[in-house]
Structures are given as structure tokens and as C-alpha cells.
Chain A
């Protein structure tokens, strides 16, 4: 990859950025917050009259404390109606499910998901939610309330729909949840890690909703000893940890994707390392027993800083 090619790669990016900034200034952007009607609101106390139990549970949540007791702006001062919409029509009609055009956020709510989510995004549109638009979950029409329970504390934090992140994400990601039972796994089911240790389900700039800028940068957050740069690099390792590992859990040691030595032999077919079929002989044991290839290509298979470490045995 020549230097000129590298520079050429940056040109379209700069051009696009310039174009977008121009667009921004040519077309004054509208305000993000939805325009709300100025009347038709009845106040949270009126809601409490009929919805006492929900009101009490909501009052114990972080959002409840903020909206009902310490609002910081006009939006929060609306209390229940800040999210459900103005309640006058509902009250005037004598209440009832689906009456008065309120947004209930229930499974049976016919309000389009995009509109329901927009209510949440009025306030939750920065920090971790900055890249919600265009994210995998947004494009699959996932509602905020699929994962979050706003009206009561079910989880220890983040007002999740289930008691734990694993249970919440596992509603759809059954395979990933099952992988936690594998022979080798990170300590997620032991409660030492969570899905959001690596992922941001609200959208990121990386593949698979990873929080860091790449797969490897995600892993380096804890496994910084693998980062290098090393004198002798093992390029597939440097490019993507997932070439060899499955971080959600594996039936092979060290969360490897395939049993060794066949894992290494997916790429290496050399005479120095006889890709010899299995034979339970002493002469063959060094390639098959213990940690197989890593018996010799040991702790430095991720890269070596030893002057004679080009084969990762030092």
C-alpha cells in the first residue's frame, strides 16, 4: 500500500466532509425536539388518581424522581405526560385503554416504533445514544421499551426490561446467551462482565455495535498486553482477534474457534511443521498433546518483542 494510495483514500472522505458541512450551512436544520401542543395537559397528580400503583413504582425510579420531584426543564415538568402525551382527552373521555390518543408503550400500542422511540430520544440523544439513528437495532425497528422498563426498577441499573443485561439481550440473542454455558467463556454468567462491557446496543461507529474503534481495540481494553506494536507481528492477530477466538464462549480451550492443531493448520501448511494426520505416537505427541502448537509457539503467538522471536517461540 503506497503512500500516494493512502493519501488518495483520504480524498473522498475529506470531500464528503466538506460537502456535508456545506449542506449543513445551506439548509438550516430544524430543532430536534418535537413541537408539543401548549394545552391539553392535566398534570401528574391527575394521572395518579387512577394509576396509583404505577405512579408509586415509577416514583422509585431514577426517571420518576427526576420528572416528578426535580424536573430540570419544561419537558421533565410534564411528568407522565412528558412521555405519554397530553392526557386531557383521555381524562375527559373517562379513561380506558387506548382512549384519548395516549402513547402507552405497551406491546399492543399501535404507535409506530419510530414515534415511540422519538419520545425517548428527546432527552436521550447524546453520549451513548448519539449513533442510534442508522444503528442495527434502529434499522430492525427495535423499540426502546423492548429492552428498558421505564415504569419500575426491574434491574439494578439502566432500568432494563429484565433483571440482568444477559437476560435482556438474551431475549433475541439466544445463541449468545447459550454460549455462556460453554467450556470456556468470559465471566459473564458469573456476573463479572456484561454485554455492555464490549457492546453499546444503542449504536456505535464499529461493527457489531462494539464500543471501541475496532474489534481489537475492544479486546485491548483489558488485554492491553496483546496490543504491541511488536517487533515481530502475527498479521492475522494484529488485524482481528476473531480470526481465532469466539469471545462469547467456545467448547475449545481459550475460546478458540476450532480445535488445535487444526485451527493453526487452517493457514499453515509447511514442511517444518508437518501437517501430519493424527497418530497417537510419541513422535507426534508434541503437535497434538497439551497445548499443541502453543507448546512451542507459546505466550508470544500474539506477537514477539524478542530479537530472535520471528517464529514466536521466543
Chain B
């Protein structure tokens, strides 16, 4: 019914736009205003349309329906003297990714804009869910519980998707050329579902994947006032951001347990969802010209973030004694203050020399309450009586840099500098202070006006003032020896706090040997080593190389080709740890090497067969990604039980691949100055191999998945578009 309505709407638009327009608006003047319009209406025919279950990736960010569609509509009104203008645009009207814009301006004085946009995000069309959903945030199963295998025959969900509806109003007022005032309001409404897991056991076993109900609003209000005077510039800004969530929690029945017990788990589980929150940011920025051709810029921003939503109870398992589960307070009193101070100075004391100095300070000061919880409940199943403290994690971040660029002689410039970054974190993190020193040297060579060669070398070294691998246990107020032994390994290092040695190289070249030929070559390498990390990420090596060529062979024929290859490598060391006896068996160590290789190709040709009449063109994009994880034990596992040795024996993960190929070829013919016809053929192919999600059954023992997956597809589409402009 809805599709029929949409088609009728589109048909009405088609008729109004194409039949009405030439008749009613054949005059390009209306009440003394100049009228202009562009309309593109088309029809789409699928030769091979993906089945509904295969459209998850094909229609990820918008439906691609067959039949008539209104691709683009633009209507403009301008005063004869070009002082005032009004413009209305519509794209994909009637489809779930439609966009409408209204803009109005008085040249040099004000600009007003309203935009309405819908952007869907389709996650899957293959998910299955057993049971019912009496309200969006409650998922139930019958009692006694169905056999676990019954989940494989759950109802298939039509779509598992979100949609963002965005409304934006923005104005720029320029009462004088020296003053800008720009208020803006944006509201994003998100609605739909996305997958979420509900754990009932620990560790891992017995969970159920359900849907997180999404009904959220994000409001952003921005105000900016800028003024420019001959000697200085000033800018004041204010940003208010509000987040509202219609759902505070989501509840699901346990697929394995139908009656609340204190031992085997609860019949239901409840997870808190993202709480409402708000943030305010005030900023003041300015720039002044100082003597000696020096410019100074400064910025101060102060932010406040608040979150005070009421807590939900520890558990909904009625069999768990609640005496120690009284909440110490009803909400967090979440209060974070941020500071940003930024200073930068640039100077051209001498003509060939540019000096730059920068300092940036960012403070994240979490002043929220630190709350002690005497007891808690793990996954609505197990009462845990150890006292816990919800820590706060404030930090300061400093960045400073000094660099100079020296134009040695006309074709050659040399830049050198050094940067410094410090993180100063809370005592609850493993590392208090990390310092990174980043020298950098760049050479720019421009021997002719058609060639640029640039190379940058930027090594860096990050150090820390010690590493407390057990810092995360400080939230356990009373130390538990068992938890201590089995927790994070003492030799593990988190990569964001670990010592690091980095080598970085960037190369860029741009050639424009002819006016009609340009080419670019880029290469970048980043090689990280973590010398103090025995476990965790130990090495990381990424490189990317690309070439891009644009050639206009004649005035009527042009080509473009682009190719990028990227390789991402990471080496990690882990230890299989089985308490109590095999926690420190070093023959259970294993190393994995991840290697992602991604190739992307784009090629296109466009030709004008008949000048101002007939154009043809074709564009092809292709991407292939391969992710391999090879794994091995440095030493053959020994000790422990046979089962433990088997568990500790490393083997390669299956390779994960995906490929996307898109081709569009068109012929466009202009009928006079106003009418355009376009016939296009599109081909798309998507392939994916991922052992983690391919053909995943809903029930794997007591682990219940939605079984959603993005499936392969191939499609061939013919499109005919008729355009009218005046």
C-alpha cells in the first residue's frame, strides 16, 4: 500500500514537473523574478534484482526501488539584479533516503537554509528472532522455554535497520562585511533497531542476541559571532548538545532458564541503555597581526557535560537477595568539565622563512561522583559481594610543536621541526604520564611549475613513567587474591599507553606536464614497535600507495584512473591461561599476525560524441579486501591436560574476504537547451566470506544469535532519466 502511495506521489511529481513546468513556467520570469528549474525524473528496471534477503548491503544507505523515481528537482527564483535568491532542491523524493533543501539569501547580507534529510542504515534482512515483543524494549519467550534449536526457526525480521531523520536550520547574517552571526539548529531523530547481546552466563556461555530499540534525539544548537577589524579578529561560539533516549533499558527472557534462581540464573535479563545527557561548550577565539610579520591566534573553550539519569536496579532476578543491593545513590551526578587552550604563532621574519609555534592544552576533568557499590549482580545471575568503586578517569593532554620552513632557493624548500605530546592520566589507568617526542623533516622540490615532489620523515618515541598492569583492579576495594592472579597479565601492555617507537614516511608527487594531463603518486608508511610489550600489540606496520591519473585527451574525451593499495599488519602475543594451574604456562603462548590487504581501483572515461548533444561515459570502481590471521605457538604446548594443550595450540584463522564492484555506463542526449535524456546501465557485485557470520545458525548451544548476515548480491539495472531545465 505504502509503495503504491509512493509511486503515485512520484507520478504526480513527474506530471507536475514535466507537463506543468513547460506550460506554466515556460516564461523564465515570474512577477519580476527570474525563474530557473532543473528536473530529473526517471524509471528504473532491474534485469537482475537481489532478492529481499540479499539486499542488506545493496540497500545499506537507501532503498533502490524499481519503477518511476524523482532523482533531482531544483527550483530557483532570483531577483533580476541578483540581489535576492531562493532555491528549493529535492533528491530521491518519496524514497527513504530523500533530501529536501530550501535556501534563501540576500547576496552579501544573509543566507538562510533549511534541510530535511532521511538516511537509513540497513544492517540486515536475514535476522531471525523467536518469541514476542510486547513493547519495543521487552523480548519474551514462552514458559517452559522452547528447545534451543527452535530459535533456528524464529520469525525472520523484514529488516534490521535504523533511520536518521535530520532537520537543520542555519542562518548566516552579515550586517557588515566585518561581522558574521551564524545561528544553527540541528535535530537528528534516530529510530529503528540494532543488534544487542544479553549475557546470562559467564564467561560467555548462555547469551541471547536481541534488538536494541532506538528512539533517540540529538539536538545541536550552535551560535557563532565573528568580527574582523584591521588589526584583529574575534570569534565567540556556543554549542549546546542534548541527547534524549526514549528507552532506559531493554529486557529479554533467558532462553535457557524460565524461573528465577540464585544459582542457575535469572529468567530475564535487563541492560541499561544510553542515558540522556547534555553538553555545553563556550569558546572564544582570536587572531592578531603583530610586528615582524607575525600572526598570533588563540582559542579558549570551556565545556560542561552532564548526565544524571536515574539508575535502574542491579537486577530483575527476584531470587537474588536484595539486602546488599540498595543503591548508594539514585544517579551518577555526572559532571565533566573540559578545557581547551590553543595558541599558535606564525612568523615570516625573513621572506624565505616561515616559523610556526603551537601549544595546545586539553583537560578532561571528570567531577562525577565516585560511587561505592557494596554488592552487585553479574548478568542477573550471580551475586558478587566484593565492594566496587566506579572510578573516574580524568586526564590532561598537552601538545606543542615548533617548526620552520625555509625556501632554500626557488624550487627547493626544507621544513624541520619537533613536536611533543604528553598524556597525564589518572592513577586508575596503567600509566600516569606518557611523553612522545616527534621530530619531523620535509623536503619540497618544485623544479618546474608542473612537478611537485614532497617527502616527509617523522620518527617518534613515546615513553611512560612506569606501567601498573593491575591499575584496573583498584576499583576492587577489597583485594581478591583469586581475581588478582587471574586478571590482566602483568606483562601485558595496552597499546595506547605502552612505550612506542614509530617510523613514519610520507611521499607525495604531483605532475601536470600538460594542461590536459595530471597525475599524483602517494606513499605512506607507518611502522610501530612496542619495545616494552611482551603481551598485547607488539608490532604494527601499515603502508599505502596510490596513483591517480586524469587525462583529457581531447576537448571531448577524458580518462581517469586511480589505484590504491593498503596493507595493515599487526603482531600480537597472547597466552592461553587456565586457572588455577595453567595461568603461567609459557608454552601456552601464541602469536598472531594479522595482515589486511586492500586494493581499490577506479577507472572512468567520458566522451562527447556530438558537441552539446551527445555524451557517453563509464565509471568502474572495484575494491577487494583480504584479512588473514596467521597464528602459531613459539613453543609447542606442554604441561596441563590434553584438553588444555589442545586449547592452547594455535592455528590459522580462516581468511576473511570481501569484494565490491560497481560499473555505471551512460549515454546522455540533449534535446535542445532544455531537455536531456539519459540511459544508464549499472552493474554491482558484492561478495563476502567471513567464517564468523556466514550461515551462522541462530542456536549454537545456549548461545542464541540473530544470525543476521550481509549476503552476496549481483544486480544489473537499466535506468532512463528525463531531465528538463530552464
Once the chains bind, are B332 and A231 in contact (CB under 8 Å)? yes
Majority-rule SS of A interface residues: loop
Once the chains bind, are A296 and B522 in contact (CB under 8 Å)? no
Once the chains bind, are A240 and B496 in contact (CB under 8 Å)? yes
Within 368-384 of B, Cβ neighbours of A (below 8 Å) are at 368, 371, 373, 376-380
B264 to nearest A CB, angstroms? 17
Q: A278 — nearest CB in chain B belongs to which residue?
A: B653
Once the chains bind, are A1 and B271 in contact (CB under 8 Å)? no
Q: Which of A177, A229, A271 contacts B579 (CB 8 A)?
A: A271
Q: Which of B270, B336, B649 contacts A277 (CB 8 A)?
A: B649
Once the chains bind, are A178 and B520 in contact (CB under 8 Å)? no
Contact partners of B305 in chain A: CB under 8 A? 227-229
Interface stretch (choices B19-27, B130-138, B295-303): B295-303
How far apart are the CA atoms of A2 and B222 in the complex, in Å? Answer: 34
Once the chains bind, are B241 and A221 in contact (CB under 8 Å)? yes
Once the chains bind, are B218 and A270 in contact (CB under 8 Å)? no
Within 252-309 of A, Cβ neighbours of B (below 8 Å) are at 252, 257-259, 262, 265-280, 282, 285-292, 294-300, 304-309
Once the chains bind, are A110 and B449 in contact (CB under 8 Å)? yes
Query: Cβ of A181 < 8 Å from any Cβ of B?
Result: yes
Q: Which of B444, B590, B594, B602 contacts A259 (CB 8 A)?
A: B594
Q: Which of A33, A127, A279, A311 contacts B378 (CB 8 A)?
A: A311
Query: Cβ of B314 < 8 Å from any Cβ of A?
Result: yes
Query: Cβ of A95 < 8 Å from any Cβ of B?
Result: no
Once the chains bind, are B600 and A232 in contact (CB under 8 Å)? no
Q: B117 — nearest CB in chain A belongs to which residue?
A: A192
Q: Which of B522, B592, B691 contacts A262 (CB 8 A)?
A: B592
The interface on chain B, measured as residues whose beta carbon lies within 8 A of the other chain's beta carbons, has a size of 209
Contact partners of A292 in chain B: CB under 8 A? 692
Q: A70 — nearest CB in chain B belongs to which residue?
A: B107
Q: Which of B362, B428, B572, B578 contacts A265 (CB 8 A)?
A: B572
0/1 per residue, A1-19, Cβ < 8 Å to B? 1000110010001001100
Query: Cβ of A37 < 8 Å from any Cβ of B?
Result: no
Query: Cβ of A314 < 8 Å from any Cβ of B?
Result: yes
0/1 per residue, B626-641, Cβ < 8 Å to A? 0101010100000000
Once the chains bind, are B373 and A251 in contact (CB under 8 Å)? no
Within 440-477 of B, Cβ neighbours of A (below 8 Å) are at 444, 449-450, 454, 475
A86 to nearest B CB, angstroms? 21
Contact partners of B260 in chain A: CB under 8 A? none
Once the chains bind, are B245 and A265 in contact (CB under 8 Å)? no
Contact partners of A279 in chain B: CB under 8 A? 646-647, 649, 651
How far apart are the CA atoms of A154 and B427 in the complex, in Å? Answer: 54
With A30-B231, A133-B287, A183-B658 in contact, do A175 and B566 touch (Cβ < 8 Å)? yes
Contact partners of A311 in chain B: CB under 8 A? 378
Interface stretch (choices A38-46, A47-55, A61-69): A61-69
Contact partners of B289 in chain A: CB under 8 A? 29-32
B283 to nearest A CB, angstroms? 8
How far apart are the CA atoms of A294 and B652 in the complex, in Å? Answer: 22
With A107-B512, A224-B243, A298-B198 in contact, do A29 and B303 touch (Cβ < 8 Å)? no
Once the chains bind, are B564 and A178 in contact (CB under 8 Å)? yes
Interface stretch (choices B43-51, B391-399, B669-677): B391-399
Query: Cβ of B110 < 8 Å from any Cβ of A?
Result: no
Once the chains bind, are A65 and B332 in contact (CB under 8 Å)? no
Contact partners of A231 in chain B: CB under 8 A? 311, 332, 334, 371, 390
Contact partners of B91 in chain A: CB under 8 A? 191
Once the chains bind, are A227 and B279 in contact (CB under 8 Å)? yes
Q: Which of B272, B363, B432, B696 contacts A305 (CB 8 A)?
A: B272
Once the chains bind, are A270 and B489 in contact (CB under 8 Å)? yes
A29 to nearest B CB, angstroms? 4
B36 to nearest A CB, angstroms? 11
Query: Cβ of B415 < 8 Å from any Cβ of A?
Result: yes
Contact partners of A277 in chain B: CB under 8 A? 574, 576, 590, 592, 631, 633, 647-651
Q: Which of B97, B233, B544, B696 contacts A290 (CB 8 A)?
A: B696
The interface on chain A, measured as residues whose beta carbon lies within 8 A of the other chain's beta carbons, has a size of 128
Q: B495 — nearest CB in chain A belongs to which residue?
A: A266
Once the chains bind, are B343 and A190 in contact (CB under 8 Å)? no
How far apart are the CA atoms of A188 and B572 in the complex, in Å? Answer: 33
Query: Cβ of B429 < 8 Å from any Cβ of A?
Result: yes
Query: Cβ of A196 < 8 Å from any Cβ of B?
Result: no
Once the chains bind, are A278 and B562 in contact (CB under 8 Å)? no
Q: Which of A123, A134, A213 contacts B358 (CB 8 A)?
A: A134
Within 226-268 of B, Cβ neighbours of A (below 8 Å) are at 226-228, 230-233, 235, 241-243, 245
Query: Cβ of B724 < 8 Å from any Cβ of A?
Result: no
A48 to nearest B CB, angstroms? 16
Report which residue of A5, A207, A217 has the largest number of chain B beta carbons within 10 angstroms of its beta carbon: A217
Contact partners of B651 in chain A: CB under 8 A? 277-279
Q: A187 — nearest CB in chain B belongs to which residue?
A: B61
A216 to nearest B CB, angstroms? 9
Once the chains bind, are A271 and B365 in contact (CB under 8 Å)? no
How far apart are the CA atoms of A135 and B398 in the complex, in Å? Answer: 18
Once the chains bind, are A134 and B346 in contact (CB under 8 Å)? yes
Contact partners of A108 in chain B: CB under 8 A? 449
0/1 per residue, B73-85, Cβ < 8 Å to A? 0000000011100
With A262-B594, A290-B705, A291-B195 in contact, do A33 and B230 touch (Cβ < 8 Å)? yes
Query: Cβ of B147 < 8 Å from any Cβ of A?
Result: no
Once the chains bind, are B290 and A6 in contact (CB under 8 Å)? no
Q: Which of B197, B413, B625, B653 contacts A298 (CB 8 A)?
A: B197
Q: Which of A175, A182, A257, A307 contacts B544 (CB 8 A)?
A: A175
How far apart are the CA atoms of A305 and B249 in the complex, in Å? Answer: 10
Contact partners of B696 in chain A: CB under 8 A? 289-290
Q: A242 — nearest CB in chain B belongs to which residue?
A: B496
How far apart are the CA atoms of A278 and B706 in the complex, in Å? Answer: 22
Query: Cβ of B216 < 8 Å from any Cβ of A?
Result: yes
0/1 per residue, B327-357, Cβ < 8 Å to A? 1000010111010111111101000001010
Once the chains bind, are B108 and A228 in contact (CB under 8 Å)? no
Q: Which of B273, B390, B692 contacts A289 (CB 8 A)?
A: B692
With A1-B426, A174-B546, A290-B693 in contact, do A69 and B83 touch (Cβ < 8 Å)? yes
Once the chains bind, are A70 and B600 in contact (CB under 8 Å)? no
Contact partners of B574 in chain A: CB under 8 A? 265, 269, 275, 277
Once the chains bind, are B231 and A130 in contact (CB under 8 Å)? no
With A239-B395, A266-B572 in contact, do A27 and B274 touch (Cβ < 8 Å)? no
Closest 6 CB pairs of A and B: A251-B625, A174-B546, A225-B274, A306-B272, A296-B199, A224-B243
Sampled A-B contacts (6; CB under 8 Å):
A126-B228, A141-B413, A174-B548, A227-B305, A267-B492, A314-B380
- Chain A positions within 8 Å of B, measured between CB atoms, are 1, 5-6, 9, 13, 16-17, 20, 23-24, 27-33, 62, 65-66, 69-70, 72-73, 76, 107-108, 110, 114, 123, 125-127, 130-131, 133-134, 138-141, 170-172, 174-175, 177-179, 181-183, 187, 190-192, 205, 207, 213-214, 217, 220-222, 224-233, 235-236, 238-240, 243, 251-252, 257-259, 262, 265-280, 282, 285-292, 294-300, 304-311, 313-314
